[in-house]
Amino acid sequence: MVPVGLKGVRMREYLVLLLVSAAVTYLLTGPLRAWLFAQGIVPAIRARDVHSVPTPKLGGVAMFAGLCAGLLTATHFTRVGRVFADTSDVKALLSGAALIWVLGVVDDRWELDSLLKLGGQVLAAAVMVFQGLKILWVPIPGVGVVALGPLESTLLTVFVIVMTINAVNTIDGVDGLANGVVLIASLAFFLYAYRLWFGYGIQGAAPAALIAAVLTGVCAGFLPHNLPPARIFMGDSGALLIGLVLSVPSISLAGQVDPEFIAAQVSSHAAAGYKLAPFYLPLLLPVVMIGVPVFDMGFAIVRRAATGKHPFRADRGHLHHRLRDRGHGDVWTVAVVYLLSAALCCGVVALSVQSARHSWLLIAMGVLLAAAGLVLAAPRMIAFVRRTPRTAETEGAA
């Protein structure tokens, strides 16, 4: 366990990193938007777009700067900065992030083919894997800790990265939607990793906490510029970037936490899988915390394949499109998805809390948030809110 005094020091350092990332992203986005307009780098409105006013993309440029600023600041902290010497995960993240960011910038300017983008995502994931960022083991309840071979480890890690990238990119169709969902997920992941680090004394969770804190800051800094009506879009340069970064903390946990430490606390490997469930949740966290976009992405692939369309070609059949077609405005659509995402995150964080009282409090909060999201999404509720007043109907008839 970590001394209480050290906990306070660590939390202050993480908060500083979050604020630095947020400040750099926020302060650069405004000038970036003005420069894009001055240079005429504003894409035309496409048929599947939901906005009606030409809006610049490439907000990912400011987000990448915020990410780098946060990680650079971490190197100046004695305690948090130790992760750079203890593991290569952060260096691997920077390599993959740089590649995926360049890919996104090129796509924002020249509209790359979907298969070419997928190949670039796999390349960025492979670069991180070859630098040591891998899922090394899978704890299975009732069986125990199963070590993965080099091939299985590589394939599973690449799959998790690419899946998370595309899940985030799928919902980047309404102002503030993808950025806000990742903000909620990364904040929940930070609390989860911080709990493992200071609740269970697992030092291997430190890189995950660092990366999640910086990602939270990046998304928080960009969100004011991106809320409906958005003044600038993150584009693929931002969506692909934050999707990749979001996948890294979970993989880092599955590569840094020693399963033998878990097994040492109980009588057998099989019991370890049941006793410390939060340790095998990292493999499921990206799916659970961004469960709404993951479901939307999977449903979109099945829908397109069933109708004979390219499974990775964008269309207007996503969840946010369907909500808008039912009469929901952008703000209402974003609120619904935020609430549902927050509900899922509350449930995940609750699993890492040892106190039964606090755990049930988080679960209850998650249920309430989910209920609120479903009520907001109900067509009848929207119809009631949007119904024309009788006085207006009478005046119109006259």
pLDDT of residue 71 exceeding 60: yes
CB 376 within 8 A of CB 339: yes
Average pLDDT over residues 301-322: 57
Question: What is residue 85's predicted lDDT score, i.e. its pLDDT?
Answer: 87
More confident residue, 240 or 255: 240
- CB neighbours (10 Å) of residue 302? 11
Exposure string over 118-149, b if 16+ CB within 10 A, otherwise e: eebbeebbbbbbebebbbbbbbeeeebbeebe
- Label residue 308 exposed, middle or buried (CB < 10 Å: 0-12, 13-18, 19+): exposed
Tens-place pLDDT, residues 13-52: 999 999 999 999 999 999 999 999 999 998 877 655 555 6
Residues counted in the chain:
398
How far apart, in whole angstroms, are the C-alpha atoms of residue 91 and residue 88?
5
Which pTM does this prediction carry?
0.79
Residue 228 contacts by C-beta under 8 Å, 6 or more apart in sequence? 174, 175, 176, 329, 330, 331, 334
CB 262 within 8 A of CB 279: yes
Apex CA 295: angle with CA 289 and CA 301, to 5°?
140
pLDDT of residue 270 exceeding 80: no
How far apart, in whole angstroms, are the C-alpha atoms of residue 59 and residue 57?
6
Question: What is residue 297's predicted lDDT score, i.e. its pLDDT?
Answer: 58
Domain boundaries, the chain: 4-397
Question: What is residue 281's predicted lDDT score, i.e. its pLDDT?
Answer: 56
More confident residue, 239 or 174: 239
How far apart, in whole angstroms, are the C-alpha atoms of residue 32 and residue 353?
41
Question: What is residue 31's predicted lDDT score, i.e. its pLDDT?
Answer: 96
226 is in an annotated binding site: no
Question: What is residue 203's predicted lDDT score, i.e. its pLDDT?
Answer: 81
How far apart, in whole angstroms, are the C-alpha atoms of residue 146 and residue 151?
14
Question: What is residue 177's predicted lDDT score, i.e. its pLDDT?
Answer: 84
108 is in an annotated binding site: no
The two tokens of residue 367 are: 């249920």
Q: What backbone phi and psi angles, to 5 degrees, belong to 373?
A: -65, -40
Tens-place pLDDT, residues 90-145: 999 999 999 999 999 999 998 898 889 999 999 999 999 999 999 887 766 566 66
Residue 391's pLDDT band (cuts 50, 70, 90): very low
Candidate ranges 84-88, 197-201, 251-255, 264-268; pick with highest mean pLDDT: 84-88
Average pLDDT over residues 328-333: 62
pLDDT of residue 362 exceeding 60: no
More confident residue, 373 or 341: 341
Average pLDDT over residues 282-288: 57
Task: Round the CA-based radius of gyration of the chain to a whole number and report it.
Answer: 22
How far apart, in whole angstroms, are the C-alpha atoms of residue 78 and residue 81?
5
On average, the pLDDT of the chain sits at 76
| Residue for token pair 């024309």 | 388
How far apart, in whole angstroms, are the C-alpha atoms of residue 15 and residue 213?
8
Average pLDDT over residues 192-208: 80
Average pLDDT over residues 282-303: 58
CB 181 within 8 A of CB 168: yes
